[in-house]
Amino acid sequence: MSSRRLSFVALIALLAVLLMPLAAQKAPNAGYTRHEKMAYVDQATANFVRPGVVVKIQSAAIAKDGTITARYTITDPKGVPLDKDGIVTPGTAPASLICAYIPKGQTQFVSYTTTVLKPSIPGNTNPAQTQAANDSGGVVTTNALGDYTYTFKTKAPANFDATVTHAIGISVRRDLSEFIQQDEWAQIGNDVFNFVPDGSPVKVTRNVVPTAVCNGCHDPLIGHGGSRIAVELCVLCHTPQTINPDTMESQDMPVLIHKIHMGKNLPSVKSGGKYRIWHRGAWSDFSDVGFPSGVDELKTCTVCHQKAPQAGQFATVPTRAACGACHDNVNFATGANHVNLPQVNDNQCVQCHQPKGAEFDASITGAHVVSTRSTQLGGLNFAITKVDAKAGQKPTVTFTVTDTAGNALDITKLDFLNLIIAGPTTDYNGYVSEDVRKAPIAGGQFVYTFTAALPGTAKGSYAVGIEGYRNTTINPNTVNSAVVRDVGFNKVFYFSVDGSKVAARRQVVSQALCASCHDKLMLHGGIRQNVEYCIVCHNPTVDDSGMRKTGDIPESINFKTLIHKIHTGSDLTTDFTVMGHGNSVNNYNDVGYVGDRRDCTKCHLAGTYDLPLADGLINQPTPRDWLKVQGPATAACLSCHTTKAAASHAQTMTSSTLGEACDACHGPNAEASVDKVHAR
């Protein structure tokens, strides 16, 4: 065969390869969702490994001589017993256990199992501290495959109270690194077993904040390298007896968690201090933590204290430790910053701090009222009832403004009231905002005609939104007097400019999903609260140039770029600073997202982050990024994946004539689908 013939055959073979569709990914393995890594391993490995671990304490006892025993089982999620030594089943699964009790008349645990820690900071002369800890040196007996009894080395003291609640906590870490690559926390099991040694029923437990509430933000909650994933276990170690020897700070759960979540808003931090936790020579600094619900919402204790039998304990059982953790400028020994009232114990707290009272008084709920939620506010409610608009004409909007009682308000007395219009709803392209406080009344409603006309080329559907507030003085003539913005919730109204069927803007995220962490969105001074409204302004054409000095390169503030980059925060590889109103400089490179950014469903509605994207989306100028103009898919991805290599990849896969080719590799059935590369 001639060399020319061989070359021709080779060319045909090469063309065949190039023209083949990219390999489609196989259907997810049975029993796994498309968001799990195990969905994409070969079926044989999945069937053999059966990842995950479930640990359950079946019984516990304390003998008269103080010997503590606990019987527990370890299985995979399907209930198949696991060998702790990893011989019969894949992966070792060692357990660590702790035993604690609640003293009579108290509400917190005290651990029998302890360890002594010395300061880890060189030169620190603080005394060693006895802390709650896992038991060490106990004996494990195998009853059957996956069924074990642990006998603690630690014994209960001779005078232990057999009539009070005791608890055994357990953590099991299954090591499957030999077989699969999966997040470590996915192979952790925790359990807590409450019992009374004398056999009587358990009447006293501790359940103030459940794990499920923590996971509303943390997704999932992981502590100590991932081995602690249940609050019910955390409270057995993080007790009043646990003091950090490096700082002599309490590591008690209410103190620790309150301080971490207060972070940069701690009085001690605001005055120049730091809140750092040392552990075995390394420290974690929580001084810059910003609570996602905002400064005011730090007062809303029920953001965390909910859905538990003792969730209301923050109001009914105030303590110096719990309250002083947030209000850490109070000196209870001297009474400083506590109206000069020293408190040597917690017995008198409830005398002044009753569970409920009037707004802004000394009661627990009263003192924690958020001013913007005060019942003294009359309320502001908007409704857009009609829009008359055609291409090239000035839109006329009919709307109402009432208070909570339904009374019509005089809008000329409001401090701010604007209508905003943008379109098309396929992807907003610019916007116009106008003050409407002088709108005339017609038939009991306000009617406003914009001074700006719609483009002559306008087609399809557009949107009108409304925002506004009135300043109201609450607690007048008192020391708690304050001027508060009484803000209305933004409403959005869709309309057609050409007689076609009205089409709302696509919904990508939901208000409820944002609220799972942020509780109540209050942006731009509180006047922007509705995500559906936010995207009207934060569209692909908008940047912060209006807030920058002449000549400064602007930053895109398109919603997907803004939100992705803010939540990526400290993982960004490039600077992300947005200039705001009042010459504010807003840098987000230190934001620590407490969830897992691979879990797109934490914010996104199902199916809204997949490729291909909807039709009609427009390109986005991004002058401060590697690529100065980005297609809609590129802009979404590069706002999390900010490396130069990622930008180069996106540029390579974008044609100047045909656009983005992202879904060729990252589409729903492609080998590198969005779900697969984000699987956990």
Q: What is the pLDDT of residues 61-98, one digit of tens each?
A: 999 999 999 999 999 999 999 999 999 999 999 999 99
Which is it for the CA torsion 329, 331, 334, 338, positive or negative? positive
Q: Which residues contact 457 (CB under 8 A, 6 or more apart)?
A: 391
Residue 380 CB neighbour total at 10 angstroms: 21
Instruction: Judge if 64 and 212 occupy the same domain.
Output: yes
Instruction: Judge if 283 and 228 occupy the same domain.
Output: no
Residue 458 lies in a domain: yes
Over residues 637-659, the mean pLDDT reads: 96
For the ranges 42-51, 116-125, 325-334, the one whose mean pLDDT is highest = 325-334
Residue 105 pLDDT > 70, yes or no?
yes
Instruction: Judge if 393 and 269 occupy the same domain.
Output: no
Q: Comparing C-alpha atoms, which of 243, 216, 214 is closest to residue 230?
A: 214
What pLDDT does 568 receive?
A: 97
Instruction: Judge if 624 and 583 occupy the same domain.
Output: yes
Q: Tell me which residue range forms the domain holding 265.
A: 252-369
Instruction: Judge if 361 and 392 occupy the same domain.
Output: no
Which is higher by pLDDT, 21 or 333?
333
Choose the final residue of a domain: 247, 276, 309: 247
CATH, residue 447: 2.60.40.1930
- Percent of the chain at pLDDT exceeding 70: 95
Instruction: Judge if 231 and 93 occupy the same domain.
Output: yes
Residue 504 pLDDT > 90, yes or no?
yes
Dist. CA 571–CA 559, nearest whole Å = 19
Residue 276 lies in a domain: yes
Over residues 193-205, the mean pLDDT reads: 98
DSSP 371: G
Instruction: Judge if 316 and 389 occupy the same domain.
Output: no
For residue 612, cis peptide bond before it (omega within 30 degrees of 0): yes
Residue 476 lies in a domain: yes
Residue 169: pLDDT band (50, 70, 90) is very high
Instruction: Judge if 601 and 614 occupy the same domain.
Output: yes
494, 425 contact by CB (below 8 A):
yes
Q: Per residue in 572-598, pLDDT tens?
A: 999 999 999 888 999 999 999 999 999
Residue 312 lies in a domain: yes
Q: What is the mean pLDDT of the chain?
A: 93
Residue 6 pLDDT > 50, yes or no?
no
Dist. CA 569–CA 591, nearest whole Å = 4
Domain count, the chain: 4
Residue 647 lies in a domain: yes
Tell how far CA 124 is from the center of its chain.
36
Instruction: Judge if 164 and 110 occupy the same domain.
Output: yes
Q: Per residue in 123-159, pLDDT tens?
A: 999 999 999 999 999 999 999 999 999 999 999 999 9
Q: How far apart are the first and last CA of the chain?
A: 53
Which string of DSSP letters, residue by residue, matches 594-656?
A: SS-TT-GGGTBPTTSSSSSPPTT---EE-TTSSSSEE-HHHHHHHTT--SHHHHHHHHHTEET
Residue 1 pLDDT > 70, yes or no?
no
Residue 12 lies in a domain: no
What pLDDT does 9 receive?
A: 39
Over residues 658-662, the mean pLDDT reads: 95
- Say which amino acid occupies 350: V
Residue 294 pLDDT > 90, yes or no?
no
Residue 226: pLDDT band (50, 70, 90) is confident
Instruction: Judge if 220 and 305 occupy the same domain.
Output: no
Over residues 388-406, the mean pLDDT reads: 98
Instruction: Judge if 152 and 213 occupy the same domain.
Output: yes
Q: Which residues contact 306 (CB under 8 A, 6 or more apart)?
A: 209, 213
What pLDDT does 182 receive?
A: 67
395, 439 contact by CB (below 8 A):
no
Choose the final residue of a domain: 191, 220, 247: 247
Phi (first) and psi of residue 568, to 5 degrees = -75, -40
Residue 332 pLDDT > 60, yes or no?
yes
Residue 40 lies in a domain: no
539, 533 contact by CB (below 8 A):
no
C-alpha to C-alpha distances, 437 to 451, 472, 521, 523, nearest whole angstrom = 14, 17, 25, 22
Dist. CA 564–CA 566, nearest whole Å = 6
- At residue 85, the 3 state secondary structure works out as coil
- At residue 94, the 3 state secondary structure works out as coil
Dist. CA 429–CA 540, nearest whole Å = 7
State pTM to two decimals: 0.91
Lowest mean pLDDT among 128-142, 275-289, 472-486: 275-289
Sheet with 188-195, side-by-side order of all strands: 110-111, 95-101, 166-173, 188-195
Residue 4 pLDDT > 50, yes or no?
no
Instruction: Judge if 489 and 364 occupy the same domain.
Output: no
52: left (phi over 0), alpha (psi -120 to 50) or beta: left
Choose the final residue of a domain: 225, 247, 269: 247
Over residues 275-301, the mean pLDDT reads: 87
Give percent helix, percent strand, percent coil of the chain, each to the nearest 5: 25, 25, 50
Residue 2 lies in a domain: no
What pLDDT does 592 receive?
A: 93
Residue 118 CB neighbour total at 10 angstroms: 11
What pLDDT does 2 receive?
A: 42
